[in-house]
Amino acid sequence: TVCFCSTMNRIDLPHLVWAMEQLVEGRVVNRVVVDKDDAHWARVALDQMLALPGI
């Protein structure tokens, strides 16, 4: 498959698994903090991208 986002394309399975294992163990790594307005609009964008048509 083609990934049009160069940053997302750099994510590989071993690193994703490592990050998820850290979360399971209660450790948050590489936390990103943004102001409330940016967080709101990022959530709006994510919700729109993840919405399933017809549901």
pTM recorded for the entire structure: 0.53
Structural domain including 23 reads 6-50
Number of domains the chain contains:
1
29 in any annotated domain: yes
Which helix (H) or strand (E) segment holds residue 4: the answer is none
Contact between 9 and 3 (Cβ < 8 Å): yes
pLDDT given at position 54: 66
23 is a domain residue:
yes
> Is 35 within a domain?
yes
Q: Is residue 1 part of a domain?
A: no
Here the tokens at position 43 are 């959530």
Give, as one character, the DSSP assignment of residue 33.
-
3-state DSSP percent of the chain in helix, strand and coil, to 5: 55, 0, 45
pLDDT for residue 3: 64
pLDDT means per 10 residues in the chain (55 residues)?
Answer: 73 92 95 95 91 72
